[in-house]
Amino acid sequence: MEKVLETNGLSKKYNKFYALQDVSINVNKGDVYGLIGKNGAGKTTFFKLVMGLASRTSGEIKIGIGTDLCAGRSKIGFMIGTTFFPYFTAKQNIEYYRRLKGIKDKEETSRVLKLVELYGVNKPYKHFSMGMKQRLGLANALLGSPEIIILDEPINGLDPQGINDIRNLIKEINEKEGVSFIISSHILSELDLVATRFGFIDKGNLLKEVSYEDLHQSTSKALIVEVDDYDKAINIISKNLETQNFTSGKNKSIILSDYLEEPNKVAKILINNGIELYSLKKQETTLEEYFINLIGGDGND
């Protein structure tokens, strides 16, 4: 698979402190790569090194195929904070950045504004909602048709509708424009809805890289069964469903690892054998729980 970004042993040291140490990350063409870590884990340092906003202590950065690093960086768009003129409209702000970036095609301003659904919005930036401001930041990142876009906490401060809008835009631009994304976010449940690959970083070290499919294949899944008579229920499950893949959960609930796709069968057998079924639900380890287990802590900063 073609790589659009690769780092090998990337490190950044401040005096005796490593903000980033021996980080090797691979982003493939078409990825929506979720970079996950607590505050101070090294995510923003990684972004700065990739974009050339800070110098690396050691290691390699490769962007694209057959290009030097400077040329590769020209293929990256980014949204790390937003800096726009408050009295300018969306068009005036993007036109300013188009000229600043040396993009000659005047139609580029209209193109990116249409992509983020801000074309024709004539009120000044200072009257934008937070969601509109983030979409304008994304439009700026899209100028020049970059191959990679870096988004640092793109949904911070957004209401549910704004979060949904940004998520849908990322998916649409990824699919229709073929742009690869690298996204950091504290709202891991949102990353889980959009990312195709994940990198878990803690204290400057990359702990793991995993695809969406492999992540959800490896997370524990079970049926949580709550009944009136625990002992009788496990005997029925053992005898009638012919499985021993269950353990005891909270309040003597049954954690059943089999029949994940046949919960109705489990319910029917229990009820037909005189068990009162309080609840039966499917459980899967969340991305937050997976991350906390990975770093071996409670997730607090």
Where does the chain hold its CATH 3.30.70.980 domain(s)?
Answer: 220-284
Pairing of strands 254-256, 246-248: antiparallel
Residue 66 confidence (pLDDT) above 70: no
Name the helix (H) or strand (E) containing 191: helix 188-194
Residue 238 to residue 236: CA distance in whole angstroms: 5
Does residue 48 contact residue 54 with C-beta atoms inside 8 Å?
Answer: yes
Q: What is the pLDDT of residues 253-279, one digit of tens each?
A: 898 888 888 899 999 999 999 999 999
Where does the chain hold its CATH 3.40.50.300 domain(s)?
Answer: 3-216
Q: What is the pLDDT of residues 32-52, one digit of tens each?
A: 999 999 988 999 999 999 999
Per-residue burial over 260-299, b = 16 or more CB atoms within 10 Å of its CB, e = otherwise: eeeeeebbebbeeeebeeeebeeeebebbebbbeebeeee
In 3D space, the residue among 59, 65, 287, 30 whose CA is nearest the CA of residue 173 turns out to be: 30
N residues, the chain? 301
Phi, psi (degrees; rounded to nearest 5) at 8: -130, 115
| 263 Cβ contact partners less than 8 Å away, ≥ 6 residues apart | 223, 280, 282
Give residue 26's pLDDT: 95
Give residue 204's pLDDT: 96
Please give the average per-residue pLDDT across 112-124, as a whole number. 96
Query: Which of 59-73, 79-93, 128-142, 220-234 is modeled with the greatest confidence?
Result: 128-142
Amino acid in the structure at residue 204: G
Q: In 10 A of CB 59, how many CB atoms?
A: 17
pLDDT tier at 301, thresholds 50, 70, 90: very low
Amino acid in the structure at residue 279: S
Residue 252 confidence (pLDDT) above 80: no
Name the helix (H) or strand (E) containing 10: strand 3-14
Please give the average per-residue pLDDT across 102-129, as a whole number. 96
Picking from 20-24, 81-85, 137-141, which range would have the lowest pLDDT averaged per residue? 81-85
76: tokens are: 């990256």
For 3-216, which CATH class?
alpha beta
Q: In 10 A of CB 103, how many CB atoms?
A: 14
| Torsion sign, CA atoms 263, 267, 268, 273 | positive
CATH number of the domain located at residue range(s) 220-284 in this protein: 3.30.70.980
Q: What is the pLDDT of residues 128-187, one digit of tens each?
A: 999 999 999 999 999 999 999 999 989 888 998 999 999 999 999 999 999 999 999 888
267: tokens are: 């319910």
Phi, psi (degrees; rounded to nearest 5) at 221: -125, 150
Give residue 294's pLDDT: 86
Name the helix (H) or strand (E) containing 21: strand 17-23
pTM of the full structure: 0.81
Pairing of strands 17-23, 3-14: antiparallel
Q: In 10 A of CB 109, how many CB atoms?
A: 23
Residue 230 to residue 248: CA distance in whole angstroms: 9
